[in-house]
């Protein structure tokens, strides 16, 4: 009798313990990719044959005992090819616990209110996006968290790109001082050319703001601005004036000021100055470039480069595209001291879009060449086409045009800005 | 499988129809349906446990909802008869069959008008005009003219147009019978109408099944106001007996289900025989009491009801022609048809001429130009192949020309003929079609009319072309916004002089110059000065003809420019 009782007691406690083990069997917090999600579903399918879970389906709703996120019970999981949506139960402060767990896992982030009055927390990083939607049943404030409040966690995974062009942020160095030189123009009734370090960055413009870092290669830079009268006018109009400042956006310091001058007459005015363009990083850029002004083969080289770009995109040749654009994209992102993962990923996805949508490219035949930086840096303006290279797809078009240079020791042009 | 609201007539013809509908089904399909239906039926009988009698309630005065008293309104009849004066159809081909979907284009509503009580309509195709010249009138009456879905219309052969008759039958005269608690029993046409119960918002009455169905039943409250109806149920079986009837049916279906799952039947025919022999024994199918039971619920406490019966009806008929949405230009155009693994191009007789392996999901742009989701194509008839066209966009114009943007949205249009050969001496920044007339606009803002050979006729002075072509006149305006009219050859037949104008219709229009609106003919001759300076939005009368009204309806003229007396 005693043995029977002990046996009974043991059986009961075993079933209770295994019941508790069941309670935390399928942990969604360990999943880091869509394939790991599929593995988890397969595991759930195997261990719960009567539930008819189909690990091959691309849309399923699973309510299984034992689903959890780092210990917070999940009442229902909706898993599709594009996202996973986990809903907690409405007991025991599950919503509050899940929020705390995610804050430890992903860091603190500011809440926002959704249209339905729920409170959202969003964490986006390079590999996954997690959005926590908290349904406060009893009130609108996080302070009134009750046990009945529940949460929905939506997890989406970002595509993995192994190409260096998409992962530039891993290589970006940061520094204590990260100056960002901005040219601010305040002018009226005129247009102007802006030339920095002997590079024409704009002609006949009315824009008021220019980022200068991309054209800086050393501690001192030259700036030339040429205000001109409006097209079609005989002279500068009565109230035309020009003024400009160069500021460091990082510390709001004014680096250089061009005092306001009244513009008179009909000839362009030339304003020249130098400014301190100290940076903790100077790019190689076109500094070792060859003077192209006497290059007889220059036209052919320009066409050859754009042809190469066109072919690379049509062939979806990711390595070739990476090699073509890496130096430009890296130097420009480093000059911005930009460590945000989205910058390079967005740029890469833009290149992917051209690859995906284009079935033809056209290179301009007739164009003007502008020589900058003592002939080392060129820019071309297409005349027979709207731009240097046009990609065409079905109801899709995209044009590209870049600053080019020829590195020392090479016979081919390279994209640099 | 069995409808709950069945008619009063004897049930054997219905039973037979129901049984014969199984002709094309396999036993496996029938098995699956019966299994599904038993489940649904079971939940349905649970519904009957809480039968309608639970919904009887007293409605507060302030919650009452009313509706208008029934009356015959025949003004809609004219409108309905005129609604089909611009009907097109899209014809597609699949597995050697034609599919047609119709569309109404004249008044912003894509479906046929909703008709009032007592009005029924029938749309019958009478003649099909095939593109190969053949005309067909036999065995087409059952082809469905559907405005929402593709319907099968016989073998794959291109159709130019279809003559269709539209018949409306409406109640011209009616009787009505009133039944109330004061007068619960009324005789009508040899039968009886009996008010059995009136409680709160609920009324239950019976009709001898020799009386034809009323066209409308309306309930009245104590004050004689017509109450809005919230629900009703009609049956051959008295309420209260419904549950019993359903339980009987459910039991029967369960028996059927077991026999099917046990594979008691060899084939569908055996199953149908069994049904015929057994179903007719069910009480449900033997409606013996000769009475139709009607229960109605209202948004108010109902005291009496009026039943309206048709006394006399009238039919009116009209014909219209539906045209192929893509008019077929060349007699030797081929038509694309998808089969499971190939794309087949048929001639006018529905005979395959070119077969290309692979399913493209091709859509015809016009003539031999096609597109799918990813590419544009030209069907090269000589080489019997599809040439891929790597261009930004292709536009097909009604006059047979094709406009191509070669690389970008901002390109100028290059014109091509139907054989994909470049044509014409100019390229155009913009193109605009008005009806079948094609305008090309060059980068220097000059307007040209282009004929089918891309010969360009300059229309000097035009800065804007308006959207409508009628009576061979298109409204245009110059750089000063003064309005004139050109004809389809590009000749300015009425110079730019009007401050405001409407397009022509039925040979006249209203234009404003020198301060007032005047009617002019297509040559610009003034027919009448209305002396009005403000025109209202154009309206149409019941015959679809224009009404010109001025000064917020104070003065109106008909489509001929004649004053309408108030």
Whether B70 and B216 map to the same domain: the answer is yes
Report how far residue B23's alpha carbon sits from residue B2's, in angstroms, rounded to the nearest whole number. 16
Give a yes or no: residue B291 inside a domain: yes
- Asked whether residue B46 carries a pLDDT value surpassing 70, the answer given is no
Average pLDDT over residues A386-401: 97
Token pair of A272 as six digits: 């020249």
Note the pLDDT tens digit of each residue in B182-209: 888 999 888 889 998 888 888 888 888 8
Q: Which residue has the higher pLDDT, B465 or B24?
A: B465
Query: Least CB-CB distance to B374: which of A385, A386, A394?
Result: A394
Task: Quote the pLDDT of residue A243.
Answer: 95
Q: Which residue of A has its CA nearest to B372?
A: A394
Nearest to residue A275, comparing CAs of A293, A263, A258, A297? A258
Query: Least CB-CB distance to B408: which of A359, A394, A397?
Result: A397
Q: Which residue of B has its CA nearest to A360?
A: B390
For chain A, the average pLDDT equals: 90
Q: Which residue of A has its CA nearest to B410?
A: A386
Q: Which residue of B has its CA nearest to A393?
A: B392
Q: Which long-range contacts (CB under 8 A, 24 or more apart) does A72-81 make?
A: A72/A97, A72/A98, A72/A101, A73/A23, A74/A28, A75/A150, A77/A28, A79/A37, A79/A41, A81/A34
What is the nearest CA distance from B371 to chain A, expressed in angstroms? Answer: 9
Question: Which residues of B fall within a CB distance of 8 Å from A390?
Answer: 407-408
DSSP string, B172-199: EEEEEEEEESSS-EEEETTEEEEEEEEE
Query: Least CB-CB distance to A395: which of B390, B393, B410?
Result: B393
Per the CB < 8 A criterion, the answer to whether B284 and B241 are in contact is no
Question: Which residues of B fall within a CB distance of 8 Å from A360?
Answer: 390-391, 407
Note the pLDDT tens digit of each residue in A111-157: 988 888 788 999 998 889 999 999 887 766 777 777 778 899 999 99
Question: Which residues of A fall within a CB distance of 8 Å from B391?
Answer: 360, 392
Task: Quote the pLDDT of residue B6.
Answer: 40
Q: Which residue of B has its CA nearest to A362?
A: B407
Q: Which residue of A has its CA nearest to B371?
A: A394
Note the pLDDT tens digit of each residue in A65-118: 899 999 999 999 999 988 999 999 888 888 889 999 999 999 999 998 888 878
User: Highest-confidence range of A60-69, B146-155, B471-480, by mean pLDDT?
Assistant: B471-480
Which of A314, A392, A398, A400 best tests the B interface by mutation, with the highest count of B CBs <10 A?
A392
Exposure b/e, A84-97, CB count within 10 A at least 16 = b:
bbbbbbbeebbbbb
What is the nearest CA distance from B383 to chain A, expressed in angstroms? Answer: 23
Task: Quote the pLDDT of residue A153.
Answer: 95
What is the nearest CA distance from B372 to chain A, expressed in angstroms? Answer: 10
What is the nearest CA distance from A361 to chain B, expressed in angstroms? Answer: 8
Residues of B with CB under 8 A from a CB of A: 371, 373-376, 390-393, 406-410
Q: Which residue has the higher pLDDT, B340 or B484?
A: B484
Query: Residue A360 and residue B410: Cβ atoms within 8 Å?
Result: no
- The tally of domains found in chain B comes to 3
Task: Quote the pLDDT of residue B282.
Answer: 64
What is the nearest CA distance from B378 to chain A, expressed in angstroms? Answer: 14
Whether B478 and B365 map to the same domain: the answer is yes
Note the pLDDT tens digit of each residue in A29-43: 999 999 899 899 989
- In this prediction, residue A9 has a pLDDT band, given cuts at 50, 70 and 90, of very low
Q: Which residue of A has its CA nearest to B375?
A: A394
DSSP string, A175-217: -S----EEEEEEEES-EEEEEETTEEEEEEE---EEE-GGG--
Give a yes or no: residue B272 inside a domain: yes
Task: Quote the pLDDT of residue A22.
Answer: 52
Per the CB < 8 A criterion, the answer to whether B450 and B459 are in contact is no
- Asked whether residue A8 carries a pLDDT value surpassing 50, the answer given is no
Question: Which residues of A fall within a CB distance of 8 Å from B406?
Answer: 392
Task: Quote the pLDDT of residue A85.
Answer: 96
Task: Quote the pLDDT of residue A6.
Answer: 45
Token pair of B508 as six digits: 């006249």
Average pLDDT over residues A195-214: 95
Q: What angle do CA B510, B430, B505 make, to 5 degrees?
A: 20
Q: How far apart are the first and last CA of chain B?
A: 58
Beta strands B87-94 and B97-104 are: antiparallel
What is the nearest CA distance from B562 to chain A, expressed in angstroms? Answer: 51
Question: Which residues of B fall within a CB distance of 8 Å from A396?
Answer: 392
- Taking CA atoms, B504 is separated from B195, B473, B475, B497, B508, in Å, by 61, 7, 9, 16, 5
- In this prediction, residue B510 has a pLDDT band, given cuts at 50, 70 and 90, of very high
Query: Residue A395 and residue B408: Cβ atoms within 8 Å?
Result: no
Question: Which residues of A fall within a CB distance of 8 Å from B371?
Answer: 394
Report how far residue A332's alpha carbon sits from residue A279's, in angstroms, rounded to the nearest whole number. 13
Give a yes or no: residue B385 inside a domain: yes
Query: Residue B407 and residue A390: Cβ atoms within 8 Å?
Result: yes
Domain boundaries, chain A: 23-157, 181-276, 298-415
Query: Least CB-CB distance to B390: which of A360, A386, A395?
Result: A360
ipTM for the assembly: 0.81
- In this prediction, residue A389 has a pLDDT band, given cuts at 50, 70 and 90, of very high
Query: Residue A397 and residue B392: Cβ atoms within 8 Å?
Result: yes
Percent of chain A with pLDDT over 70: 94
Query: Residue B407 and residue A397: Cβ atoms within 8 Å?
Result: yes
Sign for the CA dihedral angle at B146, B147, B150, B156 comes to positive
- Interacting residues of A357 by C-beta distance below 8 A, sequence separation 6+: A391, A393, A394, A396, A398
Whether B386 and B473 map to the same domain: the answer is yes
Note the pLDDT tens digit of each residue in B376-424: 999 999 999 999 999 999 999 988 899 999 999 999 999 999 899 999 9
What is the nearest CA distance from A396 to chain B, expressed in angstroms? Answer: 6
Helix/strand/coil for B385: strand
Which of the listed residues B472, B495, B518 is the one where a domain comes to its end?
Answer: B495
Average pLDDT over residues A302-316: 97
Which of the listed residues B448, B470, B495 is the one where a domain comes to its end?
Answer: B495
What is the nearest CA distance from A95 to chain B, expressed in angstroms? Answer: 37
Q: Which residue of A has its CA nearest to B374?
A: A394
Question: Which residues of B fall within a CB distance of 8 Å from A397?
Answer: 392, 407-409
Which of A357, A395, A396, A400 best tests the B interface by mutation, with the highest count of B CBs <10 A?
A395
Q: Which residue has the higher pLDDT, B106 or A164?
A: A164
Token pair of A321 as six digits: 């595209």
Give a yes or no: residue B224 inside a domain: yes
Query: Residue B376 and residue A399: Cβ atoms within 8 Å?
Result: no
Task: Quote the pLDDT of residue A19.
Answer: 40
Query: Least CB-CB distance to B407: which of A362, A394, A395?
Result: A362
Query: Least CB-CB distance to A392: which of B371, B374, B408?
Result: B408
What is the nearest CA distance from A52 to chain B, expressed in angstroms? Answer: 19
What is the nearest CA distance from A218 to chain B, expressed in angstroms? Answer: 40
Residues of A with CB under 8 A from a CB of B: 359-360, 362, 385-386, 390, 392-397, 399
Query: Residue B392 and residue A395: Cβ atoms within 8 Å?
Result: yes
Query: Residue B406 and residue A392: Cβ atoms within 8 Å?
Result: yes
Give a yes or no: residue B217 inside a domain: yes
Sign for the CA dihedral angle at A362, A365, A369, A375 comes to positive
Task: Quote the pLDDT of residue A17.
Answer: 37
DSSP string, B325-356: SS----TT--EEEE-SSEEEEE-TTS-EEEEE
Token pair of A28 as six digits: 């969604």
Query: Least CB-CB distance to A359: which of B371, B390, B406?
Result: B390
Q: Which of A316-330, A354-368, B75-89, B236-250 has the lowest mean pLDDT?
A: B236-250
Percent of chain B with pLDDT over 70: 90
Percent of chain B with pLDDT over 90: 43
Whether B378 and B262 map to the same domain: the answer is no
Query: Residue B407 and residue A394: Cβ atoms within 8 Å?
Result: no
Nearest to residue A221, comparing CAs of A187, A183, A173? A183
Sign for the CA dihedral angle at A18, A22, A26, A28 comes to negative
Whether B221 and B249 map to the same domain: the answer is no
Question: Which residues of A fall within a CB distance of 8 Å from B392?
Answer: 392-397
Query: Residue A360 and residue B407: Cβ atoms within 8 Å?
Result: yes
Whether B127 and B224 map to the same domain: the answer is yes
Whether B34 and B65 map to the same domain: the answer is no
Question: Which residues of B fall within a CB distance of 8 Å from A393?
Answer: 392
For chain B, the average pLDDT equals: 86
Task: Quote the pLDDT of residue B242.
Answer: 67
- Taking CA atoms, B463 is separated from A25, A292, B249, B445, in Å, by 74, 48, 75, 7
Query: Residue B408 and residue A399: Cβ atoms within 8 Å?
Result: yes
Query: Residue B406 and residue A359: Cβ atoms within 8 Å?
Result: no
What is the nearest CA distance from A90 to chain B, expressed in angstroms? Answer: 30
Domain of B397?
Answer: 335-495
Report how far residue B464's alpha carbon sits from residue B524's, in angstroms, rounded to the nearest whole number. 19
């Amino acid at each position: 009798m005693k043995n029977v009782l002990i046996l009974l007691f043991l059986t009961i406690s075993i079933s209770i313990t295994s019941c508790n083990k069941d309670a935390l069997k399928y942990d969604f917090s360990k999943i880091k990719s869509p394939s790991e999600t599929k593995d988890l579903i397969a595991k759930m399918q195997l261990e719960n044959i009567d539930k008819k879970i189909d690990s091959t389906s691309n849309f399923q709703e699973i309510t299984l005992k034992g689903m959890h996120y780092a210990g917070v019970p999940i009442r229902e999981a909706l898993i599709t090819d594009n996202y996973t949506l986990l809903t907690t139960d409405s007991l025991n402060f599950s919503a509050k616990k899940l929020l705390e767990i995610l804050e430890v896992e992903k860091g603190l982030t500011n809440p926002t209110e959704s249209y339905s009055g729920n409170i959202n927390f969003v964490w986006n990083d390079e590999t996954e996006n997690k959005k926590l939607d908290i349904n406060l049943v009893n009130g609108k404030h996080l302070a009134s968290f009750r046990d009945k409040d529940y949460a929905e966690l939506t997890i989406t995974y970002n595509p993995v790109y192994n190409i260096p062009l998409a992962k530039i942020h891993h290589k970006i160095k940061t520094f204590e001082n990260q100056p960002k030189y901005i040219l601010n123009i305040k002018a009226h009734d005129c247009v102007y050319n802006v030339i920095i370090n002997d590079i024409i960055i704009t002609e006949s413009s009315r824009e008021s703001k220019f980022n200068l870092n991309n054209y800086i290669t050393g501690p001192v830079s030259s700036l030339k601005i040429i205000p001109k009268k409006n097209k079609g006018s005989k002279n500068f109009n009565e109230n035309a004036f020009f003024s400009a400042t160069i500021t460091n956006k990082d510390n709001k310091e004014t680096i250089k000021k061009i005092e306001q001058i009244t513009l008179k007459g009909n000839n362009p005015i030339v304003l020249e100055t130098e400014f301190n363009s100290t940076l903790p990083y100077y790019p190689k850029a076109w500094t070792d470039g060859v003077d192209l002004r006497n290059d007889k083969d220059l036209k052919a080289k320009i066409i050859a480069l754009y042809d190469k770009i066109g072919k690379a995109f049509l062939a979806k040749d990711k390595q070739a595209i990476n090699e073509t654009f890496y130096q430009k994209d890296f130097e420009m992102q480093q000059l911005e001291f930009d460590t945000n993962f989205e910058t390079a990923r967005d740029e890469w996805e833009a290149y992917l879009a051209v690859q995906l949508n284009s079935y033809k490219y056209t290179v301009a035949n007739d164009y003007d060449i502008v020589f900058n930086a003592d002939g080392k840096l060129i820019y071309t303006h297409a005349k027979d086409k709207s731009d240097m290279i046009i990609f065409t797809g079905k109801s899709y078009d995209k044009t590209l045009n870049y600053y080019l240079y020829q590195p020392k020791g090479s016979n081919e042009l390279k994209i640099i800005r | 499988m069995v409808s709950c609201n069945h008619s009063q007539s004897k049930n054997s013809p219905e039973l037979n129809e129901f049984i014969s509908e199984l002709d094309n089904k396999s036993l496996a399909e029938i098995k699956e349906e019966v299994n599904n239906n038993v489940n649904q039926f079971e939940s349905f009988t649970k519904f009957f446990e809480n039968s309608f009698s639970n919904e009887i309630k007293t409605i507060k005065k302030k919650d009452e909802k009313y509706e208008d008293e029934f009356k015959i309104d025949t003004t809609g009849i004219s409108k309905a008869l005129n609604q089909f004066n611009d009907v097109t159809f899209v014809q597609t081909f699949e597995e050697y069959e034609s599919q047609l979907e119709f569309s109404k284009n004249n008044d912003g509503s894509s479906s046929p008008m909703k008709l009032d009580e007592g009005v029924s309509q029938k749309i019958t195709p009478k003649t099909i005009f095939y593109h190969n010249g053949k005309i067909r009138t036999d065995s087409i009456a059952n082809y469905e003219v559907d405005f929402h879905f593709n319907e099968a219309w016989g073998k794959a052969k291109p159709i130019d147009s279809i003559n269709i008759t539209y018949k409306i039958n409406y109640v011209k005269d009616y009787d009505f019978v009133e039944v109330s608690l004061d007068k619960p029993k009324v005789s009508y046409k040899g039968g009886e109408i009996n008010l059995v119960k009136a409680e709160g918002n609920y009324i239950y009455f019976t009709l001898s099944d020799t009386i034809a169905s009323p066209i409308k039943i309306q309930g009245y409250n104590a004050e004689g106001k017509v109450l809005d109806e919230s629900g009703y149920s009609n049956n051959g079986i008295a309420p209260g007996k419904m549950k019993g009837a359903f339980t009987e049916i459910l039991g029967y279906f369960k028996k059927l289900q077991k026999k099917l799952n046990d594979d008691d039947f060899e084939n569908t025919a055996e199953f149908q025989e069994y049904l015929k022999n057994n179903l007719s024994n069910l009480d449900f199918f033997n409606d013996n009491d000769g009475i139709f039971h009607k229960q109605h619920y209202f948004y108010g406490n109902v005291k009496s009801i009026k039943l309206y019966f048709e006394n006399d009806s009238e039919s009116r008929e009209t014909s219209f022609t539906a045209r192929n949405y893509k008019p077929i230009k060349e007699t030797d155009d081929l038509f694309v048809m998808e089969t499971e693994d190939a794309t087949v191009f048929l001639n006018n007789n529905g005979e395959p001429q070119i077969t290309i392996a692979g399913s493209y999901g091709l859509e015809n742009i016009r003539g031999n130009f096609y597109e799918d989701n990813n590419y544009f194509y030209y069907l090269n008839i000589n080489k019997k192949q599809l040439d891929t066209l790597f261009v930004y966009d292709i536009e097909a114009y009604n006059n047979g020309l094709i406009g191509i943007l070669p690389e970008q949205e901002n390109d100028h249009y290059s014109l091509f003929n139907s054989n994909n050969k470049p044509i014409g001496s100019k390229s155009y920044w913009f193109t605009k079609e008005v009806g079948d007339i094609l305008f090309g606009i060059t980068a220097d803002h000059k307007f040209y009319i282009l004929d089918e050979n891309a010969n360009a006729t300059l229309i000097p002075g035009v800065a804007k072309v308006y959207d409508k072509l009628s009576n061979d006149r298109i409204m245009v305006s110059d750089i000063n916004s003064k309005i004139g009219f050109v004809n389809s050859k590009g000749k300015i037949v009425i110079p730019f002089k009007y401050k405001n104008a409407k397009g022509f219709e039925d040979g006249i229009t209203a234009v404003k110059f020198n301060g007032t609106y005047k009617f002019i003919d297509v040559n610009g001759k003034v027919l009448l000065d209305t002396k009005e300076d403000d025109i209202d939005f154009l309206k149409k009368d019941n015959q679809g003809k224009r009404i010109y009204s001025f000064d917020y309806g104070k003065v109106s003229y008909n489509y001929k420019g004649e004053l309408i007396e108030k």
